[in-house]
């Protein structure tokens, strides 16, 4: 029950962050946190719920959010075969990949719809904004998760 309440609070916070920063996806740090703490079933249900939530309000073709979170999931599991999943450097590398992968998915989905993408300087500054927000949210989410959600 505490995990469900935590995910509802995370969802509300992520929606608020995405309203404040239009180009930032705020669900990936929480998704990474669930994977890192071996909560695979809640991560899968969250992936479905967050995908429908984001796809319903966006203007891109359906499937971008699912493609993004699935890519994060695959990168996480491929990396966890090589590194320890509790390592902060591994989590940081997944966050860097997530920021890069989110930009790539947006670029690919806008290309499919013939929507122009911002210049390269806008993409670079957007990447660093995305990464900073990811790091900030990951710290907030992990603090809340460790404080309010009991261990397995």
Query: Averaged over 61-85, what is the pLDDT?
Result: 86
Res 139: pLDDT: 92
Number of independent structural domains in the chain: 1
Least confident of 5-14, 23-32, 35-44: 23-32
As a whole number of angstroms, the distance between CA 35 and CA 117 comes to 31
The token duo for 112 is 């499919």
**Nearest CA among 75, 79, 4, 73 for reference residue 35:** 73
Res 152: pLDDT: 65
As a whole number of angstroms, the distance between CA 54 and CA 25 comes to 9
What domain range is 116 assigned to?
2-148
In the three-class reduction of DSSP (H, G, I as helix; E, B as strand; rest coil), residue 116 is classed as coil
């Amino acid at each position: 029950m505490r995990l469900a309440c935590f995910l509802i609070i995370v969802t509300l916070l992520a929606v608020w962050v995405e309203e404040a920063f239009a180009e930032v996806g705020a669900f990936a740090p929480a998704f990474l946190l669930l994977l890192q703490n071996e909560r695979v079933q809640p991560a899968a249900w969250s992936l479905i719920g967050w995908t429908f939530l984001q796809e319903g309000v966006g203007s891109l073709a359906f499937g971008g959010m699912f493609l993004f979170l699935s890519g994060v999931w695959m990168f996480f599991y491929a990396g966890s075969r090589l590194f320890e999943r509790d390592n902060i450097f591994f989590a940081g590398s997944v966050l860097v990949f997530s920021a890069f992968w989110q930009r790539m998915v947006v670029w690919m989905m806008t290309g499919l719809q013939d929507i122009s993408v911002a210049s390269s300087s806008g993409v670079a500054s957007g990447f660093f904004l995305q990464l900073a927000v990811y790091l900030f949210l990951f710290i907030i989410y992990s603090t809340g998760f460790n404080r309010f959600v009991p261990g397995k």
